[in-house]
């Protein structure tokens, strides 16, 4: 990596933007293009999903070079007239026709370039009407704007233009060829948290996993809200930035309770203790056959469905059985998803340890206690009923079998190698 590229990375990083080497190289060349004194306006077309940080990159670049930023948010069916003229609300309120119209965003950028560098951000161009793309070409290629009989030209200072798109429509080929296209990927969860200055196990990482559109900007605003509220999590504040329906609200509620561990009256509602069964399809016949040929050490019973030809079921009661099934059956297959409560053994020491937060059981009279088991950056729902411990696992969530077992996997496998409880007579094919 050249020193200039590394220096560009550091300049961006100081302002909170973590750029890859490739992106820093593009930004370096982009900045240099504006300093060549040409009438044309260097343009970056930033593409990527919402929340990837496209607008944030433009804002950071503006701060980095000390430019005046001009921003326009495109909206559905936005036309060329919206780029030429803008409404002066003050003039409208005074009912003064002469002052009701003011210079549009492009003219503002040209005028500002007489005084200093300008960064023009055209956000979500793909929402505007297609003819806007052609209209922008003369401005970008020649640094000028013609309105009726008047023509305005760029001043001595550079104008840098960022155009962002969320791929709602195809951008005109002529504009694409005029621009440097940059795909801005969403930062990884690790980088997302690093940018925000948060630890690896922070719950914001959980929101990141569940909500692909949750942006750096939203996360920063949410954290600022929490600082004002003096709490670690607040669902009402979070709802201002994301749709809570996108989240497992129960898990958010669980996190709320973890944040309030000093409360002795924790109470939350969890599903009934229902055992899990796995639906098998014909793709797993070979693995299923081998499971029984190896002695069916898990003690499984096989069921068939008279209504669904070719589908079979096995009941899963314990963590050990789920682990055993996973050795023979692809649990990532669509038909083989697991979800439910599984028996699990915990020592008295583990039950009383600080990594389990116990709570009451709302609307339940059977004495069941619910709790949350924390293991590093993972969180699992557990229950105690009549002295038996159950854990809730969901194949579609981060709290998977593999996550739960962790280092215990080898121990469980060894247990099966040495356990002769089931013997060789476990081949029990029940209808």
Q: 145 in helix, strand or coil?
A: strand
What length is written for the chain?
Answer: 431
**Among candidates 56, 70, 69, which has minimal Cα distance to 218?**
56
Q: What percent of the chain has pLDDT over 70?
A: 74
pLDDT on residue 412:
42
pLDDT on residue 296:
79
Q: What is the 3-state secondary structure (H, E, C) of 341-359?
A: EEEECCCHHHHCCCCEEEE
Mean pLDDT by 10 residues, the chain (431 residues): 91 90 94 91 88 87 95 89 69 51 83 94 92 91 84 92 87 91 88 88 84 87 92 84 75 60 51 67 72 79 63 76 80 71 77 70 64 72 81 75 64 43 34 32
Non-local CB neighbours of 333 within 8 Å, separated by 6+ positions: 281, 283, 284
Task: Specify the pTM.
Answer: 0.57
Look-up: residue for tokens 């950056």? 377
Asked if 266 contacts 359 with a C-beta cutoff of 8 angstroms, the reply is yes
257: tokens are 């309770």
pLDDT on residue 366:
65
Helices (H), 230-385: 235-238, 249-259, 285-293, 319-328, 348-351
How far is 80 from 105, CA to CA, in rounded Å?
Answer: 11
pLDDT on residue 331:
73
Asked if 358 contacts 369 with a C-beta cutoff of 8 angstroms, the reply is yes
- With 0-12 / 13-18 / 19 or more C-beta atoms within 10 angstroms meaning exposed / middle / buried, residue 339 is middle
How far is 380 from 357, CA to CA, in rounded Å?
Answer: 11
The domains of the chain, with CATH numbers, are 3-183 (3.40.50.300), 189-247 (no CATH), 276-418 (no CATH)
178: tokens are 């005029």
The pLDDT tens digits of the residues spanning 370-382 come to 777 776 666 788 8
How far is 233 from 235, CA to CA, in rounded Å?
Answer: 7
pLDDT on residue 388:
81
Which region holds residue 167: left if phi is over 0, alpha if psi is between -120 and 50, else beta?
left
Report CA torsion sign: 372, 374, 375, 379: positive
Q: 393 in helix, strand or coil?
A: strand
pLDDT on residue 291:
79
Non-local CB neighbours of 74 within 8 Å, separated by 6+ positions: 122, 123, 124, 125, 126, 127, 128, 132
Non-local CB neighbours of 55 within 8 Å, separated by 6+ positions: 121, 123, 164, 217
**Among candidates 86, 81, 80, 84, which has minimal Cα distance to 100?**
86
pLDDT on residue 7:
95
């Amino acid at each position: 990596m050249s020193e200039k590229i590394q220096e560009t990375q550091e300049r961006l990083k100081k302002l909170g933007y973590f750029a890859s080497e490739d992106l820093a190289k593009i930004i370096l060349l982009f900045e240099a293009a504006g300093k060549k004194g040409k009438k044309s306006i260097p343009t970056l077309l930033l593409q990527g999903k919402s929340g990837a940080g496209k607008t944030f990159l433009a804002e950071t670049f503006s701060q980095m070079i000390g430019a005046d930023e001009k921003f326009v948010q495109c909206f559905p069916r936005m036309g060329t007239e919206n780029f030429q003229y803008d409404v002066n609300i003050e003039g409208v309120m005074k009912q003064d026709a002469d002052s009701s119209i003011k210079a549009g965003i492009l003219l503002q950028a040209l005028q500002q370039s007489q005084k200093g560098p300008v960064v023009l951000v055209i956000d979500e161009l793909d929402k505007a009407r297609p003819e806007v793309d052609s209209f922008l070409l003369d401005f970008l290629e020649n640094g000028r704007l013609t309105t009726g009989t008047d023509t305005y030209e760029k001043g001595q200072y550079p104008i840098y233009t960022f155009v962002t798109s969320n791929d709602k429509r195809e951008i005109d080929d002529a504009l694409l060829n005029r621009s440097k296209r940059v795909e801005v990927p969403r930062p990884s969860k690790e980088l997302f948290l690093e940018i925000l200055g948060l630890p690896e196990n922070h719950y914001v990482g959980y929101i990141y996993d569940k909500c692909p559109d949750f942006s750096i900007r939203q996360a920063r605003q949410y954290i600022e809200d929490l600082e004002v509220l003096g709490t670690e999590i607040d669902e009402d504040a979070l709802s201002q930035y994301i749709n809570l329906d996108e989240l497992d609200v129960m898990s958010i509620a669980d996190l709320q309770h973890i944040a309030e561990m000093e409360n002795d009256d924790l109470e939350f509602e969890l599903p009934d203790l229902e055992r899990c069964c796995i639906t098998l399809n014909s793709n797993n016949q070979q693995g299923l056959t081998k499971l029984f040929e190896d002695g069916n050490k898990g003690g499984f019973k096989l069921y068939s469905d008279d209504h669904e030809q070719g589908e079979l079921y096995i009941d899963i009661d314990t963590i050990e059985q789920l682990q055993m099934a996973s050795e023979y059956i692809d649990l990532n297959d669509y038909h083989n998803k697991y979800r439910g409560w599984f028996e699990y053994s915990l020592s008295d020491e583990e039950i009383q340890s600080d990594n389990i937060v116990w709570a009451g059981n709302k609307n339940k009279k059977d004495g069941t206690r619910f709790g949350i088991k924390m293991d590093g950056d993972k969180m699992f729902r557990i229950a105690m009923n009549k002295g038996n411990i159950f854990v809730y696992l969901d194949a579609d969530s981060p709290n998977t079998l593999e996550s739960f077992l962790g280092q215990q996997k080898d121990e469980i496998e060894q247990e099966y190698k040495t356990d002769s409880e089931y013997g060789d007579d476990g081949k029990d094919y029940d209808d």
